[in-house]
Amino acid sequence: MKAVIVAAGRGSRLMNNRPKTLLPIGESTILEHILRNLNKAGIDEFVIVVGYQAQMIEEHLDKHANFGLNIQTVFNADWERGNGLSVYAAREAVNGRPFILSMSDHIVSPQALKRVVESSQRANLLLVDPDVQRIFDIDDATKVFFEDHRIVRIGKELNDYNGIDCGIFRLKPDFFDGIEAELKKGEESISAAVRELIRIRDMEAVFMNDDEWWIDIDTPEAYAFAQNNLHKIER
């Protein structure tokens, strides 16, 4: 199974003229932690969708010989638009097979990733943290409302929610049909395509355990939090 990492955006809240995923954290970068943790979870083929400062990411990968992994990059010329277009840019690279989708600024415990990769559930999957009290930046988080394992609503604007989107999906090729349906409506986000799958009752949750950690690095405050708590995520 391949993993698609969406790394095309600018990351303006942590703006320093390089892709956010290349920011140092611990002794490596955000991207390296993502690659390493996914590899520990059983993924050995990666598609990294690049856009803003694409050459920096490609040069970083080349400098480190792709960290010994099978990595290809795909360029999204529309990187300034919705992030759903970055996923759509990878549709040929995943070759009609299920794939893991990861944001380029979410670091997640390998154990949680492994349960998403190895889940026996047949639906499209999203890793969800049901412990909303421990979320570092709840206002900025993408909220989820689930019933049993089925996700019934998703969005940053939800007032009634019982979980948080951890930015890790296992998707079937029909996800691209969802993106196409939303693009026709002028919607370009990943969440919009997920809502299309929710509409047809094909999006379920895999839940974080209490001893597993993750962090979405969107702001300077979240970046500092991640640096101070990386040991929890990596264990």
Question: In this structure, is residue 196 part of a structural domain?
Answer: yes
Tell me the CA end-to-end span of the chain in Å, nearest whole number. 24
CATH of the domain at 171: 3.90.550.10
Across the chain, which has 235 residues, the per-10-residue mean pLDDT values are: 94 75 92 97 97 96 96 96 95 96 95 97 96 90 96 94 97 92 92 91 96 90 87 71
Question: In this structure, is residue 232 part of a structural domain?
Answer: no
Residue identified by tokens 């090729």 is 173
Question: In this structure, is residue 233 part of a structural domain?
Answer: no
pLDDT at 218: 87
**Domain count for the chain:** 1
For strand 124-129 and strand 203-207, is the pairing parallel, antiparallel, or unpaired? parallel
Output 220-224 pairs: Cβ under 8 A, ≥24 positions apart: 220/13, 220/14, 221/136, 221/137, 222/136, 222/137, 223/14, 223/23, 223/25
